[in-house]
A and B are shown apart, each in its own frame.
Chain A
Amino acid sequence: MSQTQADTTVTRRDFIYLGAGAFAAVGGAAALVPLIHQMNPAADVRALATIDVDISAIAVGQQIKVMWQGKPVFVRHRTPEDIAAAEAVDLSALRDPVPDSERRANAEENGMDRPDWLIVVGVCTHLGCIPIEGRGDYGGWFCPCHGSHYDTAARIRLGPAPTNLPKPPYVFLSDSEVQIG
């Protein structure tokens, strides 16, 4: 290759520079994957993904909190008034409009139609505090941290939280046992 050619055209050396640079960049990016991914939930944490809950002792009007994946889950045995109140709400009045029939235990998602059971993750969708049962303006929950009110279907009604309390995946194994997760 002559001197003049080297000045004006792409040389072997340019190619090697670029190739080496690209190789280092791709290699560096690949090395970031394990460095970053190690911080995601580890296998043992992910393994604790399902729990079985005995609900036979929960009287109507009562709620229990169970731990699932490090988070509290509310299992609430709703009264007929709770259910009626939740069904009576006009969906257009809701920030996150979902009818009560999809919030409570239903055959399609949970294997059984049980309007009296409401199972939701008890973590405020604002910034993660645990709402308090039986307080607030809508008969459901009230979050003390920044004042979010949830109704008897755990739907957000007032305050800064953007969405309803999420429904975890769960199925009724029998009349008295629920598997969450």
Chain B
Amino acid sequence: MSHQSTYRPTGPFTEWLDKRLPVPRLMHDSLVDFPTPRNLNYWYTFGGILTFCLISQIVTGIILAMHYTPHVDYAFESVERIMRDVNFGWLLRYAHAVGASMFFFAVYVHIFRGLYYGSYKAPREVLWMLGVVILLLMMATAFMGYVLPWGQMSFWGATVITNFFTAIPLVGNAITEWLWGGFAVGNATLNRFFSLHYLLPFVIFGVVILHIWALHVPGNNNPTGIDVRGKQDTVPFHPYYTVKDGFALSLFCILFAWYVFFAPNALGHPDNYIPADPLVTPPHIVPEWYFLPFYAILRSIPDKLLGVIAMFGSIAILFVLPWLDRSPVRSLRYRPMTQIFFVGFVVACGVLMYCGGKPAEGVYVLWARLATAYYFAYFLLILPIVGLIETPRKLPDSIAKPVLPAPALAGGTPIGATAAPHTDG
């Protein structure tokens, strides 16, 4: 880690262990005495929330796997058995199904936070790109998980999404049959999706560790986007942010529990309670809500290959974002023009989500096309150009001494946090 370790072994055993496998030191330096900017707001609590979501999905998932049967003749029945016969099975399945939605809700907030405060800029490019890798892995995991209950939406969602690969010239069909293990989505497909659905969350876990490692080298960004200049700008992670994250997590869990207990199927599609029928396509296929914006991008382009390219491109573009945004100022707080375009970007994503859930006809197609155009223009035109022409607002001298009224100083000042004399650099 990039800061001086303050870990002191508490007894003979921890001292012995510290010389052999310094796990307590690693934990202390990353989670207890990690110097964290003192001005992090609630948008910054979603990292902790996401960690909770991942663990919750893994725990409920492993339990579901004890009762689930990955076979086309039994999958649907086995999920119904989980719902009706397995003790607390309904709770575990709803926690897992709703949990996936909560996970995506949290990750989208987390990403918009990063976009707003410029967290993707140097020196955090690798951190940001690892985040995009996690997003892709989450999408693959959730997609394959949704196939497992083998309802109508499972089957037809799997069919439509695997068919994306047929758009690849020449080898597309061979790749798709390889993915299916047959000539259509079938038992082989269900089996391998289960295997991969079990595997990928652990891959995500590994990438999350790299993500946190990449976070702890440069340290957190913060709402001002300016660098930490010394001790007066930071507070130790524990107790300041363990408590803040814990409080936010409690609120998040209330929302989560509300869905699980009062509206467990609100975020899903009722057609998925109809067993899969390879001969009948439901009249209106929609993916889960968290895929709708991407689905809308796919459908807004009338050419098959270009549609698929645009859809994957909408995520791939995030990988190069650190090099597209030309502004030296990180936080949009101090970028008046970009701030307005950012609001437009959030609206465009909302429009895409709305249109993705509607039939691809009439006015929805037009809106989806406009929003798709804006989505790409934001990254390819607005950020590169505006960064060069806009005049940023005046940046505060330091995190501890902002020119703007700062909530960090308005509240109680943490003892010791301002003790060091303020020096630049």
Contact = CB atoms under 8 A, between A and B. Distances in A.
Interface in B173-198: 177-186, 188, 192
Interface stretch (A24-32, A66-74, A79-87, A98-106): A66-74
Name, among B156, B182, B280, B359, the residue most crowded by chain A CB atoms within 10 Å (CB to CB). B182
B360 A147 contact: yes
Interface size of B as a range: 35 or more
B183 A41 contact: yes
Name, among A126, A144, A145, the residue most crowded by chain B CB atoms within 10 Å (CB to CB). A145
Interface string B269-296: 0000000001111111100000000000
Interface residues of A, number: 29
Contact of A127 (B164, B183, B184, B284): B164
B314 interface: no
Interface in B397-420: none
Contacts of B37: none
B84 interface: no
A70 B304 contact: no
B304 A160 contact: yes
B299 interface: yes
Contact of A129 (B160, B180, B188, B192): B160
A123 B304 contact: no
A144 B304 contact: no
Given A127-B163, A128-B159, A145-B160, A41 B188 contact: yes
Contacts of A126: 163, 304
Given A45-B183, A147-B361, A72 B177 contact: no
B425 interface: no
Contact of B188 (A45, A123, A159): A45
B162 interface: yes
A45 B181 contact: yes
B140 to A, nearest CB: 15
Interface string A22-55: 0000000000000010011110010000000000
Contact of A70 (B186, B192, B305): B186
Contacts of B161: 127
A157 to B, nearest CB: 14
Contacts of B85: none
A123 B32 CA distance: 57
B181 A40 contact: yes
Nearest to A40: B178
B302 interface: yes
B73 interface: no
A139 interface: no
Given A70-B278, A127-B159, A128-B163, A39 B179 contact: yes
Contact of B182 (A69, A123, A130): A69
Contacts of A144: 281-285
A126 B159 CA distance: 11
A141 to B, nearest CB: 11
Given A42-B181, A128-B184, A160-B299, 14 more contacts: A39-B178, A39-B192, A45-B182, A70-B182, A71-B183, A71-B184, A127-B161, A130-B279, A132-B281, A144-B284, A145-B285, A159-B302, A162-B303, A162-B305
Rank and list the top 5 A-B pairs by shortest CB-CB distance, nearest first.
Answer: A70-B184, A69-B183, A128-B163, A127-B163, A129-B281
16 contacts: A40-B177, A40-B178, A41-B188, A45-B182, A65-B279, A69-B183, A70-B182, A71-B183, A127-B163, A128-B160, A128-B163, A129-B281, A130-B281, A145-B160, A146-B299, A147-B361
Interface of B: 156, 159-164, 166, 177-186, 188, 192, 278-285, 299, 302-305, 307, 359-361
